[in-house]
Structure 1
Amino acid sequence: MINIRLANVEDLITVERLAREIWPVTYNSIVPPEHLAYMLDLIYNNDRLRDQLLNQHHTFLMVESDGKPVAFAHYSTIEPGVSKLHKIYVHQSTQGQGIGKQLIDYIISDLQSKPYHTLRLNVNRYNKARFFYEKNGFAIIKEEDVDLGNGVFMIDYVMEKKLGQ
């Protein structure tokens, strides 16, 4: 049984652990190992996650399958009416079971109950997850290269889904 719930501060350790298990499999043929390590340390350090949850009022979701954490997501308001899906990752052991779609549906349902009209995300241009997003109604609106420092760039598509469609 799948359970999606709001994550709390104690869950952030699990978010980091899941990211460190999922990212190497997801990005092994896309991102050099040293860049991957740098990105994980930058994006998933506990201080940064805590700040996003507690001070920046980002929403974190935890997904459990039979009580075991298997996925997470993280989104926030970036401008009036627009929310950004910063992170959505499903552990490779449970991919293909509809968990990603359930997470997207959960987030959209939450946003539609508020004054939002768009859900936006970035996806690596070489990540096959792009096709998952397209299947779920997202469209590429532009390309974006994000400088993370130390010569590391995220080479992304920016995708959007208009809510209510």
Structure 2
Amino acid sequence: MSGEEIVFEAVGPRDVEELAELAGSIWREFWTDRLGSGQTEYMIDRFQSRSAIERDMREHAYDYWLLRSAEDGRVVGYTGGCVEPATNRFFVSKIYLLAAERGKHFASAVVRFYDALCRERGLSAMYLTVNKGNELGIRAYEGNGFAVIDAVETDIGCGFIMDDYIMERRVG
């Protein structure tokens, strides 16, 4: 287990382009072999592009953070999501790490960050969606107290489907 700490750097309007470039890089590296290049590029454009990030921040009150190594300041990934007042939960929309940074327990640090954020905001739980074929992600989330509460297939347009589990973690 790595003892390396991470710093959560809030993404502001001037940081969106850097975030979008990072997202595209991570997505192409991780998802192209799993989903194919067509669906990967479609999903980057629809959910990870500069315009998508700006839309989510403006219209859905998303918060985003770059994840940096506390040791040397290198970017290791990013995360983001939003409060859902109707369910009193935080939707963890994104936790993505660069390939070289996976397996270092950074995702666990992100979950601890969200746990504290949820407590601070008086939320009862956090939840996320994870592709059913993303075994690494599923194991990481289960290891951090998430449990599958549902399975969904979502038509995202252009003939593409997201085949996901919904996983939830109660805030303690």
Q: For the superposition of Structure 1 and Structure 2, which TM-score range results when normalised by the shorter chain? A: over 0.9
Once the 2 structures are TM-superposed, how far is the Cα of residue 14 of structure 1 from its aligned partner? 2.0
Once the 2 structures are TM-superposed, how far is the Cα of residue 51 of structure 1 from its aligned partner? 2.1
Q: Normalising by structure 1, what TM-score?
A: 0.92
Q: Which runs of 5+ in 1 are unaligned?
A: none
Q: Does 1:61 align with 2:69?
A: no
Q: Which runs of 5+ in 2 are unaligned?
A: none
The aligned amino acid for 1:109 is A
Once the 2 structures are TM-superposed, how far is the Cα of residue 48 of structure 1 from its aligned partner? 2.0
From 135, 147, 165, the equivalent of 1:157 is 165
- Cross-structure match for 1:106: 113
- Secondary structure class of the residue paired with 1:30: helix
Q: CA RMSD in A?
A: 1.4
Please give the per-residue CA displacement for 1:136-162, whole angstroms capped at 9, x wherever unaligned.
Answer: 000001111111100011100000001
Quick check: 2:45–2:52 contact (8 Å CA) kept in 1?
A: no
- Cross-structure match for 2:40: 36
Q: Does 1:115 align with 2:122?
A: yes
- Cross-structure match for 1:142: 150
The aligned amino acid for 1:18 is L
Once the 2 structures are TM-superposed, how far is the Cα of residue 5 of structure 1 from its aligned partner? 2.2
The size of the alignment, in residue pairs, is 164
Change (3 A) 1:55 1:28: closer
The aligned amino acid for 1:123 is V
The aligned amino acid for 2:91 is K
Aligned-partner Cα distance in 2 for 1:80–1:28? 33
From 12, 15, 18, the equivalent of 2:19 is 15
Please give the per-residue CA displacement for 1:51-108, whole angstroms capped at 9, x wherever unaligned.
Answer: 2223422111111122222211111122241111011101111112221111111111
